[in-house]
Amino acid sequence: MVEARTFEPLSARDAWFLYAERPDTPLDLGTVYVFEGGSRVPGGRGAMGIEETVAERIHLVPRYRQRIHRVPLNLGHPVWVDDPHFDLGAHIRREVLPSPGDGAQLRRLVARILARPLDKRRPLWEMTLITGLRGGRVVIVNRAHHAMVDGVSSLDILTLLLDADPEGYRPEPPASPWKPRPSPSNWQLVRPLLWDLRDRRDGGRTRLPVVWRTRLVPWSGMLKLGGTMVRPRPDLFFNRKLGPQRTGRGLKVPLASFKALKDRYGCTVNDAVLAVVAEALHRWFKERGEQVPAKVRVFCPVSVRADAAHGRIGNQISGMVFELPTSDLSIEDRLKRIKVTTGDLKRTRQAVAADKLAGLAEWAPPSLLVLAGRVMSTPQAGANINVTNVPGPQFPLYSGGAELLEVWPFAPLYPSMGLGVAIVSYNGSAYFGLSADPSVVPDVEEFTRDLRQAAADCTALAGPG
């Protein structure tokens, strides 16, 4: 009789986000959703009824009722197991803003929510429903650990909660009430790994040896990636040891501005976004009296999710590391240089190379990946800043009949990166979410102002001329 499996192992890619995490840098993805009050459907529950909506649909994403279980001695990657004490109410919190319910109060509350680490003893997600905002709008702060979702093209629970029309849909209920599977014993987790080691000693009948798999790696991209990572990064004022506090700001820019730059200069929308970020960094350094670096090293996550993998939980991301031009240039020259750089990286397939390297991590013992996570979290490794750009739907979405008005993304801060920029496009606008450690970056508002002006100048550049 075959023993039924009661757990699912994390991939090496997913597990890495647990290994690289530090107490002062939780790797949680946060998104702030702003809904209109009420519902456009008579009797609709609106965003206020989010807990009821989750209860109806959570069976469609089993991961949201599972927690992390570690394998003894890191002999294997952690596994997902059903949470025997799962309580939906413990994952959906409620907050009420005091009068007058203005934007400053909301920002402070959101910053406190995003700075609070998720409880590793429970499924790694939570939502906070915020009411009391001026104008009657309803805010949902959604958080999920990076080990669960990749933040670029993942199947997030909000994807299921949001509808393309006010009427929405009601899924078929499960055939039977959910019952948690028993958690595995340590022996059940370790025993398959011992057999796997035995199989590898006789030639690895079920897997290609690592040396064979490396033939699949685009070597030009790997060399480019390796060269970038080995070179010491510029020492910038926001690359310091971080504290536990977080602050954030947001900026909304018409998506048409970036599309106009794309059409005029033959670049991509992402190139145009990066040009705005580079211009804002240049202005910010000058205003602060800092030495303006010629280049700032940026990590840009890139989705490598194949069409066949669409809708699957887990990380399918790679990334490109490149140097953003921040010296004294015109915006036009800055954009042209970025276009050349990103084009070169695409030709050398750096993102694919990074993905292949991540794939080879499946062969590395988990104990080595734990060490790798610690090494990659040191100030000497990686980039100066993380810039994430996620394309979203260009039509309105709804929950309970209430229209989603705004989407504000907030990427986690990585060790020694006191500033992060995340961008999501939705329904004709690009939403910039800035995450910062106020002890390292006390003037994130000034950087936001510079971003706004840089975006306005880029809009003017894209106009008739």
CATH of the domain at 287: 3.30.559.30
**pLDDT digits over 274-310, tens only?**
999 999 999 999 999 999 999 999 887 764 444 444 4
Q: Is residue 444 part of a domain?
A: yes
Q: Which amino acid is at 135?
A: G
Rounded mean pLDDT, 113-128: 92
Q: Is residue 45 part of a domain?
A: no
Percent of the chain residues past pLDDT 90, beyond the cut: 51
Asked if residue 136 has pLDDT above 90, the reply is yes
Q: Is residue 394 part of a domain?
A: no
More confident residue, 369 or 98: 98
pTM score: 0.83
**pLDDT digits over 337-356, tens only?**
999 887 766 655 544 433 44
Q: Is residue 295 part of a domain?
A: yes
Which residue, among 249, 303, 260, has the nearest Cα to 451 in the 3D structure?
249
Quote the number of domains for the chain: 1
Q: Is residue 370 part of a domain?
A: yes
Cβ neighbours for 423, distance < 8 A, ≥ 6 positions apart = 273, 387, 388, 389, 390, 409, 430, 431, 432, 433
Q: How would you label 33-61 residue by residue, b for 16+ Cβ within 10 Å and e otherwise?
A: bbbbebbebeebbbbbbbbebbebbbbeb
Could you write out the DSSP letters of every residue in 341-409? HHHHHHHTTHHHHHHHHHHHGGGS-HHHHHHHHHHHTSTTSS-SEEEEEE---SS--EETTEEEEEEEE
Q: Is residue 199 part of a domain?
A: no
Per the structure, the complete domain to which residue 362 belongs is given by 207-387+434-462
Q: Is residue 119 part of a domain?
A: no
Strand 419-426 and strand 7-9: the pairing is unpaired
Q: Is residue 410 part of a domain?
A: no
